[in-house]
Amino acid sequence: MAPHATSNTVSTSIVEPTAPKMKTALEALSQGGPPLTGIPSFPSHASQRAHQLEHMAAAFRVFARKGYTEGMAGHISLRDPENPHTFWTNPLGRPWCLMRASDMALVDYDGKIIGGNMSRPVNAAGFLIHSAVHKARPDVNAVCHAHSPCGKAWSTFARPLEMINQDACVFYGEAQSVYKQFGGVVFDEAEGQRLAESLGAKGKGMVLTNHGLLTVGQTVDEAAYLFTSMERSCQVQLLAEAAASNGLQKQVVGQEEAEYTFKMTSDADGLYREFQPDFEVEDYLCNGEFRK
Ligand SMILES: [Zn+2]
């Protein structure tokens, strides 16, 4: 008989109960089969940059397909993975539906184009907004801003989106802010800084009163998905408000449920993955043209 197997032997080794491993959002979403993967990793800055610029070009085409364009307004920026004080953005006036990876210009924090496509200027207002956000939020690698119709319509009320459905909960609490003053088209640095301050340290999306929407992300995919989600949430809120004005009562998601839903749907890997269906559609529609 093994010495430790007698009934009066007290084991001195304490086995701590292992805490159940929390599932990631993607694991929780995946039933059967291996869970979907999140943000890919890359062997070099060059391969990471190439991947990100392709996804950025695709994001413009998604925005065009969904009707977010308004003349030359709107921009997306992407922090360079190797030189974090520089970012890629779209050339002024280039149609979003035709955007390619090679169209993007690399600008520094002084607003000088230092790489990529140097044949056109970038949007001056866009530079001030995006540089202010990139400076204020080192955790943010991409920023999307557009004058999309439902975002613009909801922005006239200078109010945050309400947690009136599951999808809106990705903007729960400090993840959403409202920039209440419209200071005219952004042509001075201070206005850009005020916008970045209003977004706050945890903001994912911001309503810019009388102007439009702005979203940010760890990846350009996350920022782009959040933009499509916020625009849709503005549309749904406007529909709900119209129905409510006829006397129907709105029911808002409970705080605890909203908090839990936010926690389970707002991580960077999950939000990267949320953009991939739209990316794949765009890839199919243009036969990979945006990769050029
Ligand atoms: Zn704007």
Q: Where are the domains of the chain?
A: 41-286
Q: What's the gap in Å between 31 CA and the centre of ligand 1? A: 41
Q: Mention every residue, 6+ apart, whose C-beta is less than 8 A from residue 16.
A: none
Give the pLDDT band of residue 7 (cuts 50, 70, 90).
very low
Backbone angles phi and psi of 54, in degrees to 5: -65, -45
On the question of pLDDT at 98 being above 90, the answer is: yes
Q: Mention every residue, 6+ apart, whose C-beta is less than 8 A from residue 106.
A: 80, 86, 87, 88, 113, 114, 115, 116
Q: What's the gap in Å between 146 CA and the centre of ligand 1? A: 6
Higher pLDDT, 15 or 153: 153
Mean pLDDT within 113-121? 97
DSSP string covering 71-85: TT--EEEEE-SS-TT
- CATH number, span 41-286: 3.40.225.10
Q: What's the gap in Å between 212 CA and the centre of ligand 1? A: 6
pLDDT of residue 110: 96
Mean pLDDT within 19-29? 79
Could you tell me the pTM of the whole model? 0.91
On the question of pLDDT at 183 being above 90, the answer is: no
Give 265-276 pLDDT, tens digit per residue. Answer: 999 999 999 999
On the question of pLDDT at 200 being above 90, the answer is: yes
Token pair in block for residue 50: 């190439």
Collapsing DSSP to helix, strand or coil, 208 comes out as: strand
On the question of pLDDT at 5 being above 80, the answer is: no
On the question of pLDDT at 102 being above 70, the answer is: yes
Higher pLDDT, 150 or 32: 150
Contact present, 143 and 223 (Cβ < 8 Å): yes
Distance in angstroms (rounded) separating the CA atoms of residues 125 and 211: 13
Residue that is written with structure tokens 């060059």 in the block = 46
Residue that is written with structure tokens 């009562």 in the block = 249
On the question of pLDDT at 215 being above 50, the answer is: yes
Give 125-145 pLDDT, tens digit per residue. Answer: 999 999 999 999 999 999 999
Q: What's the gap in Å between 129 CA and the centre of ligand 1? A: 9
Token pair in block for residue 181: 């003053």
- Identify each DSSP E strand in 218-273 by its residue range: none
Counting residues of the chain whose pLDDT is more than 70, the rounded percentage is 93
pLDDT of residue 81: 98
Looking at residue 22, the DSSP 8-state letter turns out to be P
Q: What's the gap in Å between 184 CA and the centre of ligand 1? A: 10
Give the pLDDT band of residue 16 (cuts 50, 70, 90).
low
Mean pLDDT within 278-283? 98
Mean pLDDT within 34-61? 96
Mean pLDDT within 187-211? 94
Mean pLDDT within 213-238? 98
Mean pLDDT within 75-91? 98
